[in-house]
Structures are given as structure tokens and as C-alpha cells.
Amino acid sequence: MGKLELAPVHFIDGKLYILDQTLLPEEEVYIELQNKEEVFDAIKTLKVRGAPAIGVAAGYGIYVSMRRELMSMPSSGYVQEDLMTFGGVLRDVCKYIGSARPTAVNLTWAAERMELAFKNSHATSIREAAKALLNEAVEIHSEDIQACRAMGEYGLSLLGSGMGILTHCNAGTLAASKYGTCLAPIYLGHEQGYEFHVYADETRPLLQGARLTAWELNREGIDVTLICDNMANTVMKQGLIDAVVVGCDRMTANGDGANKIGTSALAVLAKEYDIPFYMFVPTSSIDLNTLSGEDIEIEIRDEEEIRSLWYEKPMTPQEVKIFNPAFDVTPAKYITAIVTEKGIVRPPFDVNLKAIVNGEKQVEELDSSLEEF
């Protein structure tokens, strides 16, 4: 395997490779995932992370896990019986991998798609069933590549060259496909000669902003300044920020959006300073079945991520209590606009989100000036 293009997930010659993001920025190492335990662990420990990338990894991960499961599934001699067994094992694998992390909806969304692909295939052999799974995994991946590109174009229509842009966590190449979600307009603009000044929050406790966002923007030659999370107010007050762009792990029907812990504080600050706050949400991250952010399960992670993980020595005595929620919910009222791959959604989000997901209307066209002709 030669040098791979930077991406969280690669599927090459039937093998699933992920970039182990826990080793960044020091080492760029791709590891192969061969079974359901390895896929579960890679998602849980954030070797692969970011809502869309988790969905893509889950799709291929379910396919390779099923291939492995088949090795221990003896044939009954009857195709129908074998297909029923296959369906049962698939259900268990999807449920298991889908439970690795609770907040990003892309994980269960991808697992459900894989199960449905098998059901809808009406396969008459195990080979056909496996082919249906592979096709679906490839489809999830290619849809994500297209969605990121489209969000980049829509997002760029909201930004101008010279702008200062604040972002949180990592919703770039490492979190999705190629362009990422909220960093997509920055990459696209950069290709077209725009100059942006990006401020990346370090994003405690796992430092995705420092280790991943600052790293990936810097390697593309984009001007990026790293700040601690508690400096956002200062850069906004100093007039350095013209827009805030963030990703999303799950957006509910009313437009509330769960994203990395600390996102909602930025949204409140942005409102105070009258700075537009844009959430980039591929439709794969929109969960219309959940009514509001109150109903989103927030992942609680290991205490050691705060106490000791990134330090040579623990930063606080062992007996100090620690609370480590991985995400928070930004209420819809703080979001200026939601950028999806189908268009830009403006309030009222409850009505317009549903319309865009169901393809009823393109809420905001890329070039609205064309309407005058």
C-alpha cells in the first residue's frame, strides 16, 4: 500500500483501513479493521471519529464484519435457511456496531441502511446478500463525498475572502469525506484564492481542534491560529471573528443541534456579538424522529480524558470528581443558518428542515440572483 490520500476511511481491495486519529498529529498511521470488535473499538476510542466518518466506517465495518462472521456460519444446505441466519447475524452486528457511541445519529443511520439494503435486495444467495451490503457501504461513502462538496459550495456563498472564522472541534477532512463539513467552504475558497483567517478552539478535553483541525488546515497552507476554548470571547470582542462555523452530530426536528461540548457556548457568545453562527449538517445527521435537543442522549466519557490523558502527570488528584460530557446541544434560536448538502436552511427550522430533508423545496438556491432573470 503506497502513501494514501488523507482521509479517515479507505476501502481498498476489499479491506477497510482507518486513519488512527489518536496518533495525530505526530504519526499518520492507517490500520486495518477486520471484525466487529475492532470496528466497535475504533469508533468508541475515537480512532475514527466525526459523525459522517463514523457512518462511513460503520457501513464498510458492517460489511467486513459480516464477511468474518460468515467464516463461522456453517451452511445448512438450504439457501433460504442460510439467508435467514445471515439476516439474524446482520441484525446483531448492526446493533452492536451501532451502539459504539450514542450521540452521532450517523452511526445508527448507517447501520439501519445496511440492514435495509439486505432486506430490500431480496438476495437469493449469500453472495448476493454480501454484494448488496458492499454496494450500500460504497453508496454511503460516495453520498458523503458529494454532500461535503455541496456543503462547501453553499457554505462559501455565506463567506467572503479576508474573513476571520472561528471553528470548534474538527469537522474537516478527518471527520468526513475529503472536504469535511464546516471546513469544506474554507478548503473550496482556498482553492479559489480566498484568504481566510481561521481560529481553531483547542477543544478540551480531547483536543480535536489542536491535534486535528489546526493540523489539517496548516498542512493545506491555510492561515490558522490555535486558541484555548476560553479565549473565544476575547477574539470575538477584538473583532477578529466574522463567522462561526461548526459541524453537528445530531440535529433534531426543531433545529436544535448536538455537537462537541462547548459549541453551545460559542453560539450564545456569537449572538451577543452579532456574529453569524452557521451549523453544517448533512442530511445524514438530521434526525426528524427526535423532536428536540432535550431528547438527545449525550455521551459521557472516561474521567481520565480530563484528568490525565494528554499529560505526563495527572492534572488533578485522583479523588477529585470529574464530569465529562462529550457533546452539548445548541438551541435552534442561536443558529443563524443550517448548511446542508441540499441547500441553506433558514428559520423557521421546524418547517424548513422537514421540507429540505423530504426534498419538497430547495430552501435557498446557490445563486439567488439568477431568480431575477
Angle formed at CA 167 by CA 164 and CA 169, multiple of 5 degrees: 160
Q: Is 249 a catalytic residue?
A: yes
Q: Which of 19, 51, 130, 286 binds ligand MRU (CB under 6 A)?
A: 51
| DSSP-derived secondary structure letter, 212 | I
How many residues sit in the footprint of ligand MRU (CB under 6 A)?
A: 19
Q: Which of 65, 173, 208, 336 binds ligand MRU (CB under 6 A)?
A: 208
Are the beta carbons of 140 and 155 closer than 8 angstroms?
no
The smaller minimum CB distance to ligand MRU, of residues 51 and 363, is found at: 51
Could you tell me which stretch among 9-17, 30-38, 171-179, 328-336 binds ligand MRU (CB under 6 A)? 171-179
Catalytic residue, chosen from 82, 144, 201, 249, is 249
Report, in Å, the least distance between residue 39 CB and ligand MRU: 15
Q: Are strands 250-252 and 197-201 parallel, antiparallel or unpaired?
A: unpaired
Q: Which of 249, 287, 341, 364 binds ligand MRU (CB under 6 A)?
A: 249
Torsion-angle region of 138 (φ positive above 0: left; ψ -120 to 50: alpha; else: beta): alpha
Which residue sits closest to ligand MRU, CB atoms considered? 247
Report, in Å, the least distance between residue 119 CB and ligand MRU: 28
Beta strand extents in 89-242 (DSSP E only): 164-167, 197-201, 224-227
The smaller minimum CB distance to ligand MRU, of residues 20 and 82, is found at: 20
How close are the terminal C-alpha atoms of the chain, in Å?
52
Nearest to 333 by CA among 344, 319, 347, 317: 347
Are the beta carbons of 159 and 196 closer than 8 angstroms?
yes
Q: Which of 42, 248, 275, 329 binds ligand MRU (CB under 6 A)?
A: 248
Q: Does 260 interact with ligand MRU (rule: CB under 6 A)?
A: yes
Show contacts with ligand MRU in window 324-363 (CB under 6 A). 326
Amino acid identity, position 214: A
Sort 113 into a burial class: Cβ within 10 Å, 0-12 / 13-18 / 19+. buried
Q: Is 325 helix (H, G, I), strand (E, B) or coil?
A: strand
Show contacts with ligand MRU in window 136-155 (CB under 6 A). none
List residues binding ligand MRU (CB under 6 A).
Answer: 46, 49-52, 104, 169, 171, 175-176, 180-181, 208, 247-249, 259-260, 326
Give the active site residues: 249
